[in-house]
Amino acid sequence: MPVEFLTDEQVARFGCFGEAPSQAELERFFFLDDADRALVGRHRGEHNRLGFALQLATVRYLGMFLADPLEVPTAVVDFLASQLETTDPSRVKTYAQRQATQWEHAAEIRRECGYRDFGDASAEVDEFVAARAWTRVETAKALFDATVAWLRSNRVLLPGASVLARLVAGHRDQTTEQMHASLHQAAIAADPELPGRLTELLAVPEDSRISELERLRRGPTRVSGRSMTEALHRASELAGLGTNAVDVAAVPVNRLEALARDGLSAKAQAIERREPRRRTATLVAAVRSLSSTAVDDALDVFAALMADKLIKAAERTSRDAKLASLPRLNRASSTLASVGRVLQNLSESAESDTLAFSQVWAAIEEVVDRRRLAAAVDTVDELAPVQVDDDAAWRAELVSRWAVVRPFLPLLAEVIPFGASPAGQSVLDAVIELPELIGRKKVRASEIRDDLVVGSWRKLVAGGPELDPGCVDKHAYALCVLEALHKALRHREVYARDSKRWGDPRARLLEGEAWERIRPQVLTGLKLTEDAQAHLDEQATGLDAAWRHFGARIDTDTGDGRVRVETGRDGRAQIRVDALEKLDEPPSLLALRERVEQMMPQVDLPELLLEVHARTGYLAEFTHASGGESRMDEAELSLAAVLVAEATNVGYKPVARPRHRALNRARLSHVEQNYLRAETLRAANARLIEAQADLPLAQLWGGGMVASVDGMRFVVPTQTVYAGHNPRYFGRKRGATWLNAINDQVAGIGATVVPGTQRDSLYQLDVLLNPDHGRRPELVTSDTAGYSDMVFGLYRICGMAYAPRLANLADTRFWRIDPAADYGAVNDLARHRIQLGRISPHWPEMLRIAGSLVTGTVRAYDLIRSLGRDGNPTPLGQALAEYGRIAKTQHLLAVADPDDDTYQRSLNAQLNTTESRHRLARKLCFGHRGELRQSYQEGMEDQLGALGLVLNAVVLWNTTYLGAAVEQLRAQGYPVSDADAARLSPLIDTHLNVHGAYTFFLPQLAGLRPLRDPQAGSDEDESS
């Protein structure tokens, strides 16, 4: 079997020192402990002891003995010699003079340290490789490296590269065939006709240009009643294929997901050509994934339809109608006011307490006649009725839109596999009952669920006099239930089973054995304890110290400083903090900044990406969706071209080269569909983040433990469910927000796409809990972002400090724990009390939430939604809010410190870095006026993920060359202080060309250029 996945260079480096080990590797593999020294000490002569130590450490590092034990880097010899106190390390050269000694030493090391030959451990190796190949989705090279690591750790001597590569390739092929056979047999067991039905999806109907599978792949893009109906039919059709009945428990989830990705990205013709078992397995995985996605898509449409097309539209219509009716209401009110003045005058001028009825009417009719008065009363009753709540008008308008929801109501509960918590069970029952009720001519009041008919819905559902006694308006009741369903879905009181986006977050929380197994590690990592009282006492001590520190400093303030405690309009204390003054930039910094920017080499974006790849190898992380190895020559060129096309938003046309194999449009499209996805973008980004962290200049900027999160807005002019309205950012169009996190080394560490401009704080925690690389930040800052006390609590319990920039501290509440504590001048400011008694009973559940969040088993967005409803938190949500008030108050006191503005300035500086990065992102993403033209959320995430990756590559390149410029200046005697170097920014772009280059070469033409064939393929289409 040929070793296809290893390059010649990798084979040549196998089992030898490719380069000198790093300091960390020297300390890990080449350190001699007491046992090692005792073993080395058995031998006479410095050269023999050093040679023996070389073989001992080399086999530990490489996993095999070298034919020439002295073929090691000098750094290794020196490191070992220093430990053995060898006076002359060069004497080790005499160790090579007697080969028998080398063999004897190798045999002794094998015997004393327990090293085994590969053949003696073949059964264990086979077991490891087979198990890993079955449970992991990774390339053959990754499995090869993991096997090498296992052999080293288990002291099994490495075989030749080709032997190990054949073993790895054989097990990968075997487990892949096993998976295909298992799914094929499971499909037949579920339904013998299922493989045939699935294969029929690959056919192209006569009246269509695409296969049935491709049709089902396409989700909804519009928000309308018709689109909702179509989305439910699509979900029903996919569920009706029967793949959910296939028992896939034997196949690991990650392998099933990888197979589904392969099936969803491959062309139908390619799947059809596959061997039958592989074809069935691919289709089973793909259709199961599509079935789950279709349910999510339908609920996405429902949420957008209810929020934007129904509720908000009804509110706008009722508001417009109210404004239009104001002149009528004003005239009627004026009439009634004149009548009121007449009555008031009569009362004041009457000689007795009683007035004749005729006398009163006579006085009124002198001002207004009875008909006009009656009309005024009717107008006021119509336009300003006595209402149960303020929602009556728009809810009445909502009922008039019954025709929008009528077509999909019978399908809703039938197609979506709904579930409910106890709080949402009544809503779910009502949804299930709706199809039968709306099919009748009459619905009696006893047949509806009264607990859902609240507020102004009571009058609307009760209907008018045209209804028979005891009956209700079924249309109003249906809209009432749908509004309740919309709210219950948002808070996950009603959810979709086995759904990724609309599932039950409570069911995903760690519990039982799974929680008990990792609880000690989670608590240690987050510095938490199961003893709630001890932990809360520690928090109380910290908050008390912060208040006393602040109180002591504010006491010495004269009252006219930057920070002041004033008396507000309500007579209570409030704090005022003036804006910070801008720090002056020293002349040395200005001169350094100008000089290094002039030294930056001019570079085109494609060259920059390839140069960064040459240093980091990040493009190697883009693997095929099937998990297989890439068989493309010059793959890095294709990947770089796709990244440029996606990040700059220009499509393929400017980067494609029809005559270049690696750059023709078909190749680029294949790479984009099969290689560019969330996990490969994350893996590639991890390499760039790691490389950035290793640069000395980046280390001057920070340690990577501070991060900021902010949103970048993009107009989305295409039809899509995943965009929202916000006139401030998008005008009359719709758009999406790219929420991204940047650490203090100016590396983007994570991002997500948010439809419209929903509250950022609901999504921020998910981005930070799952960074692309490295440790989570310890301090997180952002703009206000609709923060809440609960969000502070979730950050704190997950081991991070949340530090948003707050717009107005005067209106912000400060909290204390000890009501008897004396904080001097700020006693009244600390008038709100934290109730620790609300936290302790829920502490075990809060710890379980923390464990579930940091291990990624539940999304913070879903969890936050489920912990409150309409501004009223659940008891668990209230416990998290009380806990968050401790962290929030400590943050506020640090921001308002009257003597030290370092904390506030550091937060502002990090947020300014984010804004500068967004400016650079705007320059990069210039195509199509910077608008996103993706219809699906996955497409938006992939494109903006490519933009984030390219941004990190630019930042890494800039940082590298800035560091080189600083070092060169220092070498030339130019004074560069670390303080000035720490204020340089890698977010510069005057040297960077992102717009490509124009060619001015006229080809040889014999007359006019040939016209294109309109029936030919669109190899030069702009669309990507």
C-alpha distances in Å from residue 766, one per residue of 372, 673, 791: 63, 26, 12
Distance CA 261, CA 351 (A): 92
Across residues 973-1000, what is the average pLDDT?
A: 89
In terms of domains, do 130 and 27 share one? Answer: yes
Predicted confidence (pLDDT) per residue in 206-253, tens digit? 888 899 999 999 999 999 999 999 999 999 999 999 999 999 999 998
Q: How many domains does the chain have?
A: 5
Domain end, chosen from 140, 175, 210, is at 175
Residues whose CB falls within 8 Å of the CB of residue 185, separated by 6 or more in sequence, listed in order: none
387-443 pLDDT per residue, tens: 556 688 889 899 999 999 999 999 999 999 999 999 999 999 999 999 999 988 899
Q: Is the pLDDT of residue 980 over 60?
A: yes
Q: Are residues 39 and 138 in the same domain?
A: yes
Radius of gyration of the chain (CA): 35
Q: Residue 201: is its pLDDT beyond 50?
A: yes
- Answer for the pair 726, 735: CB distance below 8 angstroms, yes or no: yes
Tokens of 104: 């004897």
Question: Among candidates 278, 295, 188, 282, which has minimal Cα distance to 242?
Answer: 188
Structural domain for 639, as ranges: 591-683+942-993
Q: In this structure, are 888 and 802 located in the same domain? A: yes
Residues 520 and 493 in one domain: no
Of the candidates 503, 536, 560, which is a domain's last residue?
A: 503
Question: Which residue has 């570079």 as its token pair?
Answer: 603
- Same domain? For 163 and 37 the reply is yes
If asked whether residues 796 and 850 sit together in one domain, one would say: yes
SS3 state at 781: strand
Three-class SS state of 221: coil
pLDDT band, very low/low/confident/very high, at 680 (cuts 50, 70, 90): very high
**Which pLDDT band, with edges at 50, 70 and 90, does 556 fall under?**
very low
Task: Tell me: do 612 and 478 sit in the same domain.
Answer: no
Burial (CB < 10 A; 0-12, 13-18, 19+), residue 686, is middle
Question: Which residues pair with residue 494 across a beta bridge?
Answer: 420
State how far the Cα of 749 lies from the Cα of 742, in Å rounded to an integer: 6
Q: Bridge partners of 782?
A: 709, 804
pLDDT tens string 687-722: 999 999 999 999 999 999 999 999 999 999 988 888
Burial of 1 (0-12, 13-18, 19+ CB in 10 A): exposed
Res 1015: pLDDT: 60
Residue 714 lies in a domain: no
Residue 640 pLDDT more than 90? yes
Tell me, yes or no, whether 816 and 876 share the same domain. yes
3-state helix, strand, coil in the chain (%, to 5): 60, 5, 35
Query: Cβ contacts of residue 959 below 8 Å, gap of 6+?
Result: 692, 695, 697, 698, 746, 986
d(CA 224, CA 302): 9
Asked if residue 267 belongs to a domain, the reply is no
| Residue 1000 lies inside a defined structural domain of this protein | no
Is the domain of 352 the same as that of 423? no
Please give the distance of CA 990 from its chain centroid, rounded to a whole number: 31
Residues 17 and 131 in one domain: yes
Contacts 24+ apart (CB under 8 A), 32-41: 32/56, 32/57, 32/80, 32/83, 32/84, 37/83, 37/84, 39/108, 39/109, 39/112, 40/84
Per-residue exposure over 355-366, b if at least 16 CB sit within 10 Å of its own CB, e if not: eeeeeeeebbee
Q: What angle do CA 453, 457, 460 make, to 5 degrees?
A: 125
951 and 818 housed in the same domain: no
Measured CA to CA, the distance from residue 643 to residue 292 in angstroms comes to 30
pLDDT digits (tens, 9 = 90+) for 336-364: 888 888 888 877 776 666 777 777 788 88
The total number of residues shown for the chain amounts to: 1024
Residue pair 49/43 in contact (Cβ under 8 Å)? The answer is yes
Is 502:855 a contact under the CB 8 Å cutoff? no
Per-residue model confidence as pLDDT tens digits over 499-511: 888 999 998 999 9
Comparing CA positions, the residue from 71, 160, 146 lying closest to residue 117 is: 160
Residue 514, in any domain of the structure: yes
Give the Cα separation of 592 and 492 in Å (integer): 55
By CB atoms closer than 10 A (0-12, 13-18, 19+), residue 877 is: buried
Question: Do the domain assignments include residue 955?
Answer: yes
- Specify if 929 maps to a domain: no
Q: What is the mean pLDDT of residues 950-969?
A: 95
Single out the residue of 791, 783, 722, 720 nearest to residue 753, CA to CA: 722
Q: Considering only CA atoms, which of 930, 926, 935 is closest in space to residue 718?
A: 935
717: left (phi over 0), alpha (psi -120 to 50) or beta: alpha
pLDDT at 798 over 90: yes
What pairs with residue 715 in β-bridges?
Answer: 735
Domain boundary residue, one of 389, 406, 432:
389
Give the span between the Cα atoms of 1006 and 732, in whole angstroms.
Answer: 50
Q: Which of 654-663, 761-770, 992-1001, 1003-1012 has the lowest average pLDDT?
A: 1003-1012
Question: Can you give the pLDDT at residue 308?
Answer: 87
DSSP string, 739-758: EEEEETTS-EEEEEEEETT-
Please, what sign has the CA dihedral across residues 495, 496, 498, 502?
Answer: negative
Read off the pLDDT of residues 245-281 as tens digits, 9 standing for 90 and up.
999 999 998 899 889 988 988 889 989 999 999 999 9
Average pLDDT over the chain, rounded to whole? Answer: 88
Q: Is residue 142 part of a domain?
A: yes
- Mean pLDDT lowest among 403-417, 473-487, 561-575, 826-840: 561-575
Residue 968 located in a structural domain:
yes
Q: State pLDDT tens for residues 907-935.
A: 999 999 999 999 999 999 999 888 988 88
Q: Are 847 and 840 in contact (CB under 8 A)?
A: no
pLDDT at 352: 62
- Alpha-carbon torsion (659, 662, 663, 669), positive or negative: positive
Distance CA 847, CA 839 (A): 11
Does residue 76 have a pLDDT over 80? yes
pTM to 2 decimal places:
0.83
Say if residue 47 is in the same domain as residue 171: yes
